[in-house]
Structure 1
């Protein structure tokens, strides 16, 4: 889709692609095997001004748009799903809501260090007892004077143990349903009563930390309320519109990485006196991978462009996320098949892309929830 990308976008994409090839690709499997968060990679991304791509320059960002951010996320996912996931959570979930809903003071205090890459951010919505029904939360924030006291547990929180700030959803008015949810900025380094309970070992994406966190009488100054009391759910819905574009972009990158591994292998691997790419079954499989990825990329770019134009992207972002996440998993599985026995080993990348891709069908709303959203958008 290069023909439609502005020159600045192509430049940023090419810069990140070169960085990924030189700095991330050589360690991508190692950091997974070691379950190690690669802090040095994010420091280098900060040096490239990539940690706040869609954030305004006045707050330390690059001043880019959602399309530029999607391009960067895709390139990261093309070599490492873990790095792409931590980057996406930091940008779309932890940073953009502060820019969209925060006061000027909050933006200067909390957004600037995020966008400049001083530290990463996290976003805490899911709880042990709430998944797709995210509004059914037990975490409470009770007002006491000029503070709020947080109590509760959040589950599957990306970056929580490496974050400098976490946006936490909590109930401020029990019994009010969606209208009783608010958002708070928590400082995990300074706030007493915050604890990382678990860092999960996962099927994939193990270089991106996924945590269970607990709040026990965690006192938050009233100035850390994001927006007004009761704004939390509306903020969540708007945030997830951008978040779905993030996952679509990351999924497209995962699919692209698996496709390239399969294509390159098929051109080099010989059986019966010729490269296996010359056999119809293998060639057709690789062609189908390319078709699916290009479709997902087009949907992702369309949703990002509509987002930048201020249009309602509920339908198109759900469509992009659903299509790209399922494409990533399907392409990964087919890439393993092309490589045969080698594809099942950690010496080759398709197994990693496939394991990473599965989360894309779960996070930011499962595929089943996306179909529910799309049905509603179609009036069904």
Structure 2
């Protein structure tokens, strides 16, 4: 089979130009690059997929645009300041091609342990390499170890003033392509919580033959990504390769995962954007039984449910990104909820849309829709990244007794998410020193009673208030069921895992209500009048088996608007937040009807 054509690399960006890369600028660049012959040309990316070859041209274009600057914290010379802005950038790329987003974005994951350790020497050294476009891998997993970090058998033993590595890391993204890798290695024979250390490896500084690349793995999705591994045979590392303190590796990785799990869901948000774009096109083109598909109530219901899932995923991701700055002490819970919840939510959205697309979602050569099959395959790996859904949910299940709603005092007004989700609320810089392995409480779900009371005081007995009260009642039942849960050793029970999943839905509903209270402008516009919030709450209540009988029509109304106003961005963040929003379409040039102005049949 013929290899895809290789395009010339994008020209290097002029470092003297007074231009700050933003999400808005990336949107325009991606549109330009997606034209025929460009580095994001769908035909070129499809060819890379078919031949399982790395999307070199697209990654080179992102390098030249300046994306590596967002992998490096501002204190080390980069542009990484607000996590929500970085998530918006990766979301835009994922909406164009998930493989490219995975392949390029891995550098953030590879370097995060160094930034979290906050050591000046290694951090500045790595920053210079990343800013020069050098990819970085993160060597955590090993053959047969799965997600169990304590099962790692790759060893680092002292050799003079330095260390020797022996063993394998596999599978690892960017393992072959990159020269740099943060490696978690066993430094005590018995292992344990203090028996592992993180090292920053530069393959170029090792002796020939001591570091060998393992073959690229054939994968179901993200076929063009460099999913391979490394084998070490007495690979020598200098003393300054240690990241953090010797023996701190597990703690450092677990704290770093609190950040990467939040960033990871940008891949799901981008996948949802892509799928909704295909769905909108299908609703406008397809005809059945002499009628447009959008005229059929079932199609509108499915479309509305898909849109509500996107809104709820966006709410949780945005809340988590801000929580990383505002309440990092609680990020062990927030990140676990976010990573378990968002990819699963979008995977369900893709199933809904795929069922509606029918054959168009299955065949790869149907004009305009051939990318859906690739998108669906690519996204299946996202729930596995940075701890699978099961791993994150099990971690949440283990601490449910400490998080039981009502057990801790509700946050005061200053600590309420409705305050720090406001657009004008100042955010502290990311501070890894404030991360904790065990969160003392959860202010997002803890704020639910006050949020419901404030909403009722403002709106009286509206349909939105009715759904909010139903969510509060479901949260109270969850609290009672957690209180009745018997503690058990070992892996969490099925009952505990189900409670953890219910906790995620209650958290998501509370986050949606907090964002609604924090952003008055979200009560206006095409998704306004409480419509988007009712969709999010109805979705949560259905999953909790607590939805009122009259909740379902909200999905038909959402689906009707999605089809009737094809130019309205399917996002809550809005195009007036260009540095932090992730909507793919431009702001509509024409007047958009508000919720309720389009009649739902």
1:363-378, aligned counterparts within 5 Å? 363-378=385-400
Moved more, 29-38 or 365-374: 29-38
Deviation digits for residues 290-322 of structure 1 (CA, Å, limit 9, x no counterpart) = 100110111001111110225221111121112
Matching residue of 1:124: 139
How far apart in 2 are the matches of 1:346 and 1:136?
40
Deviation digits for residues 119-142 of structure 1 (CA, Å, limit 9, x no counterpart) = 111000001121121211110000
How far apart in 2 are the matches of 1:378 and 1:12?
39
* Aligned with 2:115 (options 72, 76, 99): 99
How far apart in 1 are the matches of 2:326 and 2:113?
18
Deviation digits for residues 49-89 of structure 1 (CA, Å, limit 9, x no counterpart) = 21131523453411432111111111111121111112332
How far apart in 2 are the matches of 1:11 and 1:119?
19
Q: Say if 2:135 and 2:178, in contact at 8 Å, map to a contact too.
A: yes
1:65-76, aligned counterparts within 5 Å? 65-76=82-93
How far apart are 1:275 and its partner, in Å? Answer: 2.3
Moved more, 297-306 or 254-263: 254-263
Q: Say if 2:271 and 2:379, in contact at 8 Å, map to a contact too.
A: yes
> CA RMSD, aligned part only?
1.9
Matching residue of 1:201: 218
Matching residue of 2:375: 353
1:134-145, aligned counterparts within 5 Å? 134-145=149-160
Residue 11 and residue 288 in structure 1: after superposition, are their counterparts in 2 closer, same or farther (change >3 A)?
farther
Residue 366 and residue 63 in structure 1: after superposition, are their counterparts in 2 closer, same or farther (change >3 A)?
closer
Would you say 1:48 and 2:65 are equivalent positions?
yes
> For this pair of structures, how many residues does the alignment match?
369
Matching residue of 2:338: 320
* Aligned with 2:260 (options 243, 248, 256): 243
Q: Secondary structure at the match of 1:185?
A: strand
Residue 158 and residue 182 in structure 1: after superposition, are their counterparts in 2 closer, same or farther (change >3 A)?
same
How far apart are 1:117 and its partner, in Å? Answer: 4.4
How far apart in 1 are the matches of 2:54 and 2:215?
15
How far apart in 2 are the matches of 1:182 and 1:248?
27
Would you say 1:343 and 2:353 are equivalent positions?
no
Would you say 1:269 and 2:279 are equivalent positions?
no
How far apart in 1 are the matches of 2:195 and 2:216?
29
* Aligned with 1:172 (options 172, 176, 187): 187
Matching residue of 2:235: 218
How far apart in 2 are the matches of 1:350 and 1:44?
24
Would you say 1:329 and 2:339 are equivalent positions?
no
Q: Say if 1:126 and 1:154, in contact at 8 Å, map to a contact too.
A: yes
How far apart are 1:102 and its partner, in Å? Answer: 4.9
Between structures 1 and 2, the one with greater strand share: 1
How far apart in 1 are the matches of 2:77 and 2:203?
22
Moved more, 192-201 or 293-302: 192-201
Matching residue of 1:62: 79
Moved more, 16-25 or 260-269: 16-25
How far apart in 1 are the matches of 2:237 and 2:327?
33
* Aligned with 1:155 (options 170, 176, 182): 170
Q: TM-score, normalised by structure 1?
A: 0.92
How far apart in 1 are the matches of 2:30 and 2:49?
16
Gaps of 5+ in 2: 1-19, 34-39, 402-481, 483-601
How far apart in 2 are the matches of 1:377 and 1:353?
34
Q: TM-score, normalised by structure 2?
A: 0.59
Q: Secondary structure at the match of 1:305?
A: helix
Which one has the largest radius of gyration? Answer: 2
Q: Which has the higher contact order (CA 8 A, sep 6+)?
A: 1
Gaps of 5+ in 1: 1-9
Moved more, 268-277 or 156-165: 268-277
Q: Say if 1:140 and 1:172, in contact at 8 Å, map to a contact too.
A: yes
